[in-house]
Amino acid sequence: MPDPEAIIKIDRLRVEYRPKGLARSHQVAIQELSLEVRRGEAFGYLGPNGAGKTTTMQVLLGFTPPTSGAASLFGVDVRRPIARQRIGYLPELTYYYKFLTAEELLRFYARLFELTRSETDRRIEELLRLVDLEAVRGKPIRHYSKGMQQRIGLAQALINDPELLLLDEPTSGLDPLGRMQVRGIIQRLKSEGKTVFFSSHELGEVETVCDRVAILNHGEVRAMGSVSELVREHGNNLEQAFLKIIGHAPNPAT
């Protein structure tokens, strides 16, 4: 039965791309995808490169139209106008005007959401403290490390105090310290009752913060459940379970 508390609902979703050049067959990015993400849940969306993770997020955000099936946020079909004030999004590849400082960037996004001056000031102070960038708030983003850029990206995704966070590979390319910092932020958001839907290749982060996960391969969900359930059924740890589920048999140790 559908969960009435589900923030994200996807039902038999299919996404095809038109062929390019001399290709004759359509490229299927997502096929018969169904899942639900509950209110206040941290949900990990896993899969190898090209599995369809980013395409799924683009459908949810209204960037890519589904070929068939349905998807909704807060009970509203994603093909209809949705109150974007309730959603925060961090793409895998962020691009900001590098001459802006962290504070200037956050003020720019606050204006897009039509926040008042007092609310903007309050949110900027809270978010710079949350992502540990208070000391460099006046420094141009072009001087930021990869980890700092990811953290200011998280801050901009949170400027409107959204109920739902869609994070596409939030720890991609980060060193262990950067991953730890982003993981801590996600854990805090979860403790505040935010719903977090994020894709990742970092199984350790997923295992630490997620209530449930879905493992995707070739556009299909191959397994879904809590980490403990998947490990119990498919392997001794999440990495082994992941490899088994996507059909990858590692070479035995010699």
Helices 146-158, 102-112: crossing angle, 10 deg rounding = 30
Three-class secondary structure of residue 159 per DSSP: coil
Give the strand pairing for 68-73 and 6-17. antiparallel
Q: In terms of pTM, does the model score above 0.85? A: yes
Spatial contact of 110 and 128, defined as CB atoms under 8 Å apart = no
- The set of residues, in sequence order, having a beta carbon less than 8 Å from that of 113 and lying 6+ positions away, is 85, 159, 160
Cα–Cα distances in angstroms (integers) from residue 133 to residues 50, 127, 191, in the given order = 33, 8, 21
Nearest to 53 by CA among 222, 199, 237: 199
Q: pLDDT by residue for the chain (254 residues), tens digit each? A: 556 579 999 999 999 987 766 666 778 889 999 999 999 999 999 999 889 999 999 999 999 999 999 999 999 999 887 767 799 999 887 778 889 999 999 999 999 999 999 999 999 999 999 999 999 999 999 999 888 888 899 999 999 999 999 999 988 778 888 888 888 888 888 898 999 999 988 888 888 889 999 999 999 999 999 999 999 998 788 888 999 998 876 555 54
Q: Domains in the chain, ordered, with CATH? A: 6-245 (3.40.50.300)
AA letter at 51: A
Q: Which residues of 5-20 are buried (b: 16+ CB within 10 A; e: fewer)?
A: ebbbbbeebebbeeee
CA proximity to 8, closest of 77, 89, 67: 77
